[in-house]
Amino acid sequence: MESQKFPKGFYFGAATSAHQVEGNNHNDWTEWEKSPERIADLKKRGLNPEGFISGRACDHYNRFREDFDIAKKLGHNAHRFPIEWSRVEPEEGKFDEKEIEHYHEVIKALRDRGIEPFVTLWHWTLPLWVRDQGAWENKKTAADFVRFCEKMAVEFKDEVRYWMILNEPEYWIGHTYALGIFPSGKKNILKIPLLYLRLARAHRFVYRKLKKINSDFQIGVVESTGWIEPFAARLFLSYVRNFLFPWLVKGYFDFFGLNYYRVNDLLYFLHHGKREKSEIGWEIYPEGICRLAKKAHRYFKKPIIITENGIADSTDTKRAQFIRAHLVEVERAISESVDIRGYFYWSLLDNFEWDSGFGPRFGLVEINYKTLERKPRQSAWEYAKIIAPQKYKEVN
């Protein structure tokens, strides 16, 4: 498996999200992490709340240059990350120029290293004033989000070509309203249809506005997918789990961002032990990435970018093989005429895993959370060898 097998100009990189790596954010999640209900719930489950407060995370906000130096050494030519809405617009309608400047520097640091920026406009966190007005349940939030996106697009129109509007909206809706494990922690399945329609409407608006600002922008939808087993369940659920949101915004995206981690086997109790698992129990099924890419290609006829694919593996015993096996499947899809343009491993760094705290380790780069020391794992070099085999022949 070598990069030569991929089309010329193929993007190889990794992804992060602001809240998970930057540190010292101030948004709906940071407040929720420290709320008495959340802390009580963690304690009830015998967990130490400290490990579930994002705090300074990886301090990527201050160390992004060091992190991009590592990405460059690892041969990456693309990087996916969000602009954090709560930093840029901490008060309604008041944009913080210093924070906007920060993201100019982030983008410049990437470009200086020959790394193409892929910018996400919403990766699950909201400014506090948006939370206080009822988050996405309030119709006004969609209008506010469109304004924020427009402002960012104007600001970065000459620096960024690839944009993603909403990260995995259906995953966020499900974890918030069906499972109640994302803030505010209150389930309400009756609100789900409204949320889908609202987020889809916001997406369509943003797409239209951004295209007017620069028709060359390449704008993606980012979908959380999972290969569903068994067949009978897949027939019905595959559309809901994998493709409902993109259907709602069909015609309003230039590429399909496919996030893929695992198989969701509804008969798991029967097949227990059959497949290998990650440290957080996610069953590994590399073929799924090829099969889902083929479906996305058939349904939407748009280029595909693998915007996330990764494994929690603190001992780094499975990651290299995981990446290799998934890239073989990506390559297989390409050889069967699926137009796949890039692959982003999740994640460049170990990071704050939302409701699961700092436990799961997804990073190509290990973070020592006490000293903040960064150390590329062996698997990061194995990935580098796939990207640039000649250059990394000698590494370990």
Q: CA 285, CA 291: separation in Å to the nearest integer?
A: 11
Residue 14 backbone zone (phi > 0: left; psi -120 to 50: alpha; other: beta): beta
The correct pick among 155, 229, 308, 329 for binding ligand BGC (CB under 6 A) is: 308
Active site residue 168: yes
CB of 45 to ligand BGC, least distance (A): 19
Nearer to ligand BGC, 63 or 123 (CB): 123
CB of 396 to ligand BGC, least distance (A): 27
CB of 18 to ligand BGC, least distance (A): 10
The correct pick among 85, 163, 171, 383 for binding ligand BGC (CB under 6 A) is: 171
Is 168 a binding residue for ligand BGC by CB under 6 A? The answer is: yes
Cis geometry, peptide bond prior to residue 54 (ω within 30 degrees of 0): no
Is 170 a binding residue for ligand BGC by CB under 6 A? The answer is: no
Structure tokens, 281: 């129990």
Binding segment for ligand BGC among 43-51, 88-96, 150-158, 163-171 (CB under 6 A)? 163-171
Nearer to ligand BGC, 17 or 141 (CB): 17
The correct pick among 27, 86, 242, 259 for binding ligand BGC (CB under 6 A) is: 259
Nearer to ligand BGC, 54 or 167 (CB): 167
CB of 91 to ligand BGC, least distance (A): 26
Binding segment for ligand BGC among 92-100, 126-134, 164-172, 370-378 (CB under 6 A)? 164-172
Distance of CA 275 to the CA centre of its chain: 25
Binding segment for ligand BGC among 137-145, 165-173, 250-258, 319-327 (CB under 6 A)? 165-173
CB of 391 to ligand BGC, least distance (A): 29
- Listed in sequence order, the residues at least 6 apart from 365 whose beta carbon sits closer than 8 Å to its beta carbon are 67, 70, 348, 349, 350, 374, 375, 376, 377, 380
Q: Answer yes or no: are the C-beta atoms of 239 and 296 closer than 8 Å.
A: no
Nearer to ligand BGC, 52 or 346 (CB): 346
Q: CA 343, CA 10: separation in Å to the nearest integer?
A: 8
Q: Answer yes or no: are the C-beta atoms of 119 and 108 closer than 8 Å.
A: no
Nearer to ligand BGC, 20 or 86 (CB): 20
CB of 82 to ligand BGC, least distance (A): 10
Size of the site for ligand BGC (CB under 6 A): 10
Nearer to ligand BGC, 318 or 385 (CB): 318
Is 224 a binding residue for ligand BGC by CB under 6 A? The answer is: yes
Query: What are the φ/ψ torsions at residue 267 (nearest 5 degrees)?
Result: -105, 30
CB of 161 to ligand BGC, least distance (A): 21
Q: Tell me the C-alpha to C-alpha distance, in Å, between residue 171 and each of 113, 168, 180, 243, 272.
A: 33, 5, 12, 12, 25
Is 313 a binding residue for ligand BGC by CB under 6 A? The answer is: no
Is 17 a binding residue for ligand BGC by CB under 6 A? The answer is: yes
Nearer to ligand BGC, 300 or 346 (CB): 346
Q: Which of residues 324-353 bind ligand BGC (CB under 6 A)?
A: 346, 353
**Closest residue by beta carbon to ligand BGC:** 17
Q: Of 22, 33, 116, 168, which one is the catalytic site residue?
A: 168
What is the signed CA dihedral for 375, 380, 382, 385, rounded to 10 degrees? -110
Catalytic residues: 168
Which residues lie near ligand BGC (CB under 6 A)?
Answer: 17, 20, 167-168, 171, 224, 259, 308, 346, 353
